[in-house]
Structure 1
Amino acid sequence: MSTPVNVAPSAARRDPLPQHLLDWQLPNDWSWGGEGLFGDFRHYQQVIDGLGRSLSLVTAPDKAHSPWLKVEARFLAQRSHPSIPSTYHYWAAGTDMRRGPGYLRRWITGETVRKRVNRMGETDIPFVLQVLRGACSTLAYLHDTGRSHGGVGPDTVWLSPGGRLWLLEWQWAIPREEIPAGTVPSWLRARDAKSEENPGRQLIGPGIPIAPEWESEPWSPTRASDQWQVAAMCFTALAGEPPPKTDVPPIGLVRLECPARLATALDRALQPNPADRFPNIVAFLREADATYTSRSLFLVSGEMESVKALTPEDRLRISLGDEFEVLSRLGAGAFGTVWRARDLSLEREVAVKVMHPHIARDDRAVTQFLREARLAAQLAHPAIVPIYDWESRGGLSWYVMELAEEGSLSNLVENSGPRTIEEIDPQIELLLDGLAAAHSVGIVHRDIKPENVLIDRYHRWRLTDFGIANITGEVKAMGGGTPAFAAPEQLLNEVQGPATDLFALGAIVAFALTGARPFGDGDPTAILARQLSGNYDVSMLPPSIATWLRRAFDPDPEDRFADAAEMKSSWCASVDAAHEAEGRPGFLNRLLRRGA
């Protein structure tokens, strides 16, 4: 790959512009830079703006790919991560055809991981860990948005002269339906390092590692394939060559001096069966990074007594050691306390939920909690807050999850009042999709309430705390928690299943639209009586929505919706009916809104 260097524009070597840029006219005081290279269905041309900044003009040589390019530009404009080059500006094809389509981002200088390996051979362990941390941090951020990259490798990971890591080739990370039909990454096919049409230009991506699952199935990026590609890149850096397609040797045999924890983590991430890899990219990094991360809590029994005298925050800081920096307290509930913290490995802020000490002392509760956390961590759904890690140490048990930057549904309604049907419609669909995914693998939430519906930076509603109520018994015992959103079978301490969550989801809808708990608050016995007698008021809502709620609130679980999918279908029909009753298009309005 061509490696740009930091030189003055006037001194830079000028490569001939590619054919598709010959008719472009840059703004006044701008000039073409001296570097350019072809990527996968993309061209990256250095340009110098009026302020003297070196920028990359990203274009699609094939005009048919212009819509794809625009989606990519929008995708990058909405990203905020130090290793993802954000879009500065997008030029649409103007009527005078002077320039466009194309977008501007930072011009990346430095070298790829492959170029470094070719230059130095086997790389040192600290460099591999630097690449591993940077790539995993970037992918963890991406995975939180529900997307996968699919093209991580030694040719797409760059390091600047100052040590900053960049992950490129983002055209494959956008939704598959936005990628032209039949278009797949060129590196999936055997191809030369030189382009036949542009023999003087080097290509990006001929050596991207191909995950084992793509050998027999169509290319379909997943979080698991991203994890494998990162591990394959690290293998390449350690061994000086990529891993073989089959029978990958243990890292410990390839590099004898490789720390055991790092070698074990890479071996697991390189497993051919995705199910045998780590549940997520963060768990992979945690295991690999443990090699150089100190576990600060090594307490003997005599010291433990002094630790017990510390404040909860001090105990947490000691237990978290050098992995997290505790920033502030976010809140507390019947289960535990939530803290805002900074993940020092991934350099991002997270939420750490710590079990109350009296719960953490119950071995059964801790075991059940860890089991539920592992199951929830495997759901990987846009409507479910991802769990990154879980741990028990120093008398404390906690799990780490995504930080909800916009608070909860409870905060939203309390601060801004009831929401409109138009606003909550897509959010309820998303939550029901999430419940369907959880129920399909046998996970029931059991404690859906406004405080457990968090809102992320993209304003998506997401469920958190799966299975917590089952651990603490707070709802079953009718003592504590929020029985206002509990189904009758919970308050009666009867068998609970998916229908329990559907009842609570109905209560969430009523709360969001009216600003009030449908069955009131306070005494669980009084709430149960209102539920069993149908004593709730939805008269202010459109008739179709009220009918939908009555079915959701049926005291008999068997008479509610059959499952989350049926509840979603009925919800969509009810919303459409409400719109049509007001003289607005229902189904058509839904299609237009989704296409916007």
Structure 2
Amino acid sequence: MESIGKYNILENLGRGAKSTLYKVQDSVSGQIYTLKRILREVEDDYRYFEQAETEYDVSRRFTHPYLRKSLELKRIKKWLKTVELHLVMEYVDGITIKQARLTKVDEIIRIFIMVAQGLASLHDLGFVHADIKPKNILLIANNGIKIIDFGQSCAMGHQKLRIQGTPDYMAPEQVDRNFLDQRTDIFSLGATLYEVLTGEHYPTKVRATNDGGTELTAPPNVRDIPTPISKNPQAPSSLSKLVMDCCATNPKDRPENMREVISRLEVAQHLFQRQKSLHPEPIPELVSPPQLTTPIDHESDDDSDDFERFIESIL
């Protein structure tokens, strides 16, 4: 059996731009973990080390069940230079919300309440996730969820020197390299919920193109953006309005914090359940989002890194 240090490799879980994920077992304790192995092949690969170090620094503090915790970061050095990193994380067996093809409104609301609760805990620690998207939210056993991939995270009020994030989910302040706070995650959560409800991307300033590229666009006029309820009448009006408020261009026009989002999601949940009780006949399910044609790695940094390289090429 192959091993990395004291960890026996059980399964290869996937690859990122410069990393490989493994399901491993601690040879001493017998515990199962995920190990992310990052290699530095050229000088520019330092950014992947930075992301792993950021993820460890942020996620080692977690105690909330909806946030994936990191347990160890080991540096492999050669001639006093770090050439490899091993990030040991909680093992999570699940599928992304995009793979799940969610259709039932009450189930969607229930899941996003949990996501908002996890993010509220992250914000209480003083950090912003800064890369919330369908691929970074996993559905796990016992109807739970797990938020993953904290490599883009930063402290509240931080102003990044580089544009980092994923097209179709980035808040305007990320594109403009302004200060980030909890409302940045609120925008991305809204864009993610918009996609789950409608099967379409919210029209952000930075969008992925059909040929796999990226394009920068003018800020969309909110009046021209179809609301979730206009795209799918089964989306409750209260939920539709919350999504649009979360995706406001100006952070001041969004919900103030994640607890306000939770409260409004719970109201939408109550109203939807009341509607179902008044109309016991089956309510049609939402239109399914497009089926994925390729598998998704559970912590791939390709989307955000491809975009970062694109930005550097035009600046």
TM-score using structure 1 length: 0.39
Can you give the 5+ residue segments of structure 2 that lack an aligned partner in the other structure?
Answer: 78-82, 280-315
| Cα distance, 1:434–1:358 mapped onto 2, change above 3 Å | farther
Query: Aligned runs of 1:369-518 on 2, under 5 Å?
Result: 369-394=52-77, 395-413=83-101, 418-468=102-152, 476-477=162-163, 482-518=166-202
Query: Aligned runs of 1:59-208 on 2, under 5 Å?
Result: none
1:346 and 2:1 correspond: no
| Cα distance, 1:511–1:347 mapped onto 2, change above 3 Å | farther
| Cα distance, 1:468–1:392 mapped onto 2, change above 3 Å | farther
| Cα distance, 1:358–1:437 mapped onto 2, change above 3 Å | farther
Q: Do the aligned partners of 2:238 and 2:268 also contact (CA within 8 Å) in 1?
A: yes
Considering only aligned residues, what root-mean-square deviation do their CA atoms show, in Å? 3.3
Identify, as 1 or 2, the structure richer in strand: 2
Q: Do the aligned partners of 2:127 and 2:153 also contact (CA within 8 Å) in 1?
A: no
| Cα distance, 1:565–1:572 mapped onto 2, change above 3 Å | same
Pairwise CA distance, 1:484: 1.1
- How far apart, in 1, do the equivalents of 2:226 and 2:44 lie? 40
| Cα distance, 1:521–1:363 mapped onto 2, change above 3 Å | closer
- How far apart, in 1, do the equivalents of 2:61 and 2:168 lie? 29
- How far apart, in 1, do the equivalents of 2:270 and 2:161 lie? 35
CA offsets, 1:388-416, max 9 Å, x none? 22211152113112222122223222xxx
Pairwise CA distance, 1:335: 6.5
CA offsets, 1:90-123, max 9 Å, x none? xxxxxxxxxxxxxxxxxxxxxxxxxxxxxxxxxx
Determine helix, strand or coil for the equivalent of 2:216.
helix
| Cα distance, 1:464–1:534 mapped onto 2, change above 3 Å | farther
Query: Aligned runs of 1:254-333 on 2, under 5 Å?
Result: 320-321=4-5, 323-333=6-16
1:553 and 2:247 correspond: yes
- How far apart, in 2, do the equivalents of 1:399 and 1:332 lie? 14
Determine helix, strand or coil for the equivalent of 2:143.
coil
| Cα distance, 1:443–1:453 mapped onto 2, change above 3 Å | same
1:357 and 2:40 correspond: yes
TM-score using structure 2 length: 0.71
| Cα distance, 1:358–1:567 mapped onto 2, change above 3 Å | farther
| Cα distance, 1:517–1:353 mapped onto 2, change above 3 Å | farther
Pairwise CA distance, 1:444: 0.8
- How far apart, in 1, do the equivalents of 2:87 and 2:7 lie? 12
| Cα distance, 1:545–1:358 mapped onto 2, change above 3 Å | farther
Q: Do the aligned partners of 2:54 and 2:153 also contact (CA within 8 Å) in 1?
A: no
Q: Do the aligned partners of 1:475 and 1:482 also contact (CA within 8 Å) in 2?
A: no
Q: Do the aligned partners of 2:20 and 2:36 also contact (CA within 8 Å) in 1?
A: yes
Determine helix, strand or coil for the equivalent of 1:513.
helix
Pairwise CA distance, 1:487: 1.1
Query: Aligned runs of 1:11-90 on 2, under 5 Å?
Result: none
The residue type equivalent to 2:147 in the other structure is L
Pairwise CA distance, 1:503: 0.9
The residue type equivalent to 1:546 in the other structure is S
Q: Do the aligned partners of 1:369 and 1:468 also contact (CA within 8 Å) in 2?
A: no
Tell me the equivalent position of 2:285.
Answer: none
Pairwise CA distance, 1:537: 4.2
Tell me the equivalent position of 2:225.
Answer: 535
| Cα distance, 1:531–1:378 mapped onto 2, change above 3 Å | farther
The residue type equivalent to 1:390 in the other structure is L
Pairwise CA distance, 1:434: 1.5
Higher relative contact order (CA 8 A, sep 6+): 2
Pairwise CA distance, 1:361: 6.6
| Cα distance, 1:451–1:553 mapped onto 2, change above 3 Å | same
The residue type equivalent to 2:116 in the other structure is L
- How far apart, in 2, do the equivalents of 1:355 and 1:459 lie? 31
Q: Do the aligned partners of 2:24 and 2:33 also contact (CA within 8 Å) in 1?
A: yes
CA offsets, 1:6-59, max 9 Å, x none? xxxxxxxxxxxxxxxxxxxxxxxxxxxxxxxxxxxxxxxxxxxxxxxxxxxxxx
- How far apart, in 2, do the equivalents of 1:566 and 1:358 lie? 45
CA offsets, 1:183-203, max 9 Å, x none? xxxxxxxxxxxxxxxxxxxxx
Pairwise CA distance, 1:439: 0.8
| Cα distance, 1:439–1:552 mapped onto 2, change above 3 Å | same
How much identity, in percent, do the aligned residues show? 23
Pairwise CA distance, 1:367: 5.6
How many correspondences in the alignment?
260
The residue type equivalent to 1:501 in the other structure is D
Determine helix, strand or coil for the equivalent of 2:23.
strand
The residue type equivalent to 1:399 in the other structure is L
Pairwise CA distance, 1:364: 7.5
Determine helix, strand or coil for the equivalent of 1:483.
coil
Pairwise CA distance, 1:517: 2.6
| Cα distance, 1:490–1:328 mapped onto 2, change above 3 Å | same
CA offsets, 1:145-188, max 9 Å, x none? xxxxxxxxxxxxxxxxxxxxxxxxxxxxxxxxxxxxxxxxxxxx
- How far apart, in 2, do the equivalents of 1:428 and 1:486 lie? 18
